[in-house]
Amino acid sequence: MKAGTVALIGRPNVGKSTLVNNIVGQKVAITSPKPQTTRFPINALFEDERGQIIFVDTPGIFNKAKDPLAKKINKKTLSMFNDEIDVFLYIVDHTRRRDFEEAKILGLMRKVNKPKILVVNKIEIKDPTFLPQYEFLKDEFKDFFYISALNSKHIKPLLDKIFEYLPEREKIINKDEYVYPALNMDSKTFISELIREKVFLRTRKEVPYTTTVVIDEITERNKQLTYIKARVLTTDDRYKKILIGKNGRRIKEIGSMARRELELATSKKIYLDLHVETDKHWVNTLT
């Protein structure tokens, strides 16, 4: 059997989280149309008769980290290059122009002395396309694939190639010991991330990056009902007003979307007690 770790590297919003979610067949990383949704590397397990793949979904690498949160995200992502990674997937989005940010990531990939696979994502989108700007990359990578992470197109050949590169070894993960398929998230972290995804989807451009979600309580009231108490923290009162919305409409929408998805994931009724608070210093609590 084969087993190993595969890191997904690329600019923000190239589809890394969508690809991981669709490969493992279950949401483990939050997604949104906004960049830099993922804040920490998320490990997810794919397993079949050939063996195990631990996918590490990394935050997109910023060209310039202008705030403390972005700097912490970049530091965590870059540190992965020194970890035990067996294969790297370099993911690009052909619908966006190449820029200095892309050049920075390519420079990092050129320094990697492990198997690297070029993955051109979002082929379901025909226009706009800047594919000619990326064609030269095929000369730098032995293996390359054109995929649609959203529609799960051409994913199987990509998995076949990954398994070719993985070392022969016994299983490295006993999935019964984890919140399968997520390997580095407990239930509080998963719920927090899911609520934060809804904040991304329902608020203005600047608001999501000022927020985090704290889970204060998860209580099984009975076999059918789970009570969850959570807080959305933001850095300024003006963002708090936006999050709450007129007559509390927006936070109700966020809570309703999160509750419905949690009920689908757990097959239980969920009572989500969700509030918004201002905490100017919550970013400083991140490690």
Can you say which residues are annotated as belonging to the binding site for GTP?
Answer: 10-17, 57-61, 121-124
Residue numbering of the annotated binding site: 10-17, 57-61, 121-124
**What phi-psi label fits residue 25: left (phi over 0), alpha (psi between -120 and 50 degrees) or beta?**
left
Which CA distances in Å does 274 have to 130, 191, 251, 253, 270?
A: 42, 12, 8, 11, 12
Q: How many other CB atoms sit within 10 Å of the CB of residue 16?
A: 30
How far from 217 is each of 35, 187, 195, 274, CA to CA, in Å?
29, 11, 14, 11
- Count of helices and strands (H, E) across the chain: 7, 9
- Nearest-angstrom CA–CA distance, 261 and 150: 19
Could you tell me which residues are beta bridge partners of residue 184?
none
Task: Give the contacts of 238 (CB within 8 A, at least 6 positions apart).
Answer: none
CB atoms within 10 A of CB 23: 22
